Amino acid sequence: MALLSRLPIDLAMVQDYSGLLWADLPGAILLTGITVEERQVQRLSTTGHWAVPLILPSGHG
């Protein structure tokens, strides 16, 4: 996966949520009928999930 941006990436503030489970999210709405075992492995994303802040020309992200 690649991220292309004309603005610089704030590498110190990048957050990786790839290992997060749906059940770990505050206020998560889970499907009815899911077993406890399924809740323990249902990931937020199947591949990767990141928050990547950019540095704006004003210097703020």
Instruction: Please tell me the predicted confidence (pLDDT) of residue 61.
Output: 61
Q: Which of 1-5, 35-39, 51-55, 57-61 has the lowest mean pLDDT?
A: 57-61
What DSSP string describes the chain? -----SSPB-GGG-EE-TT-BGGGSTT--PPTT--HHHHTT-BS-SS--EE--B--TTS--
Q: With bands split at pLDDT 50, 70 and 90, how would you rate the model's confidence at 7?
A: very high
Question: Which pTM was predicted?
Answer: 0.66
Mean pLDDT of the region 31-54: 86
Beta bridge partners of 51: 15
Q: Can you give the residue ranges of every domain in the chain?
A: 7-61
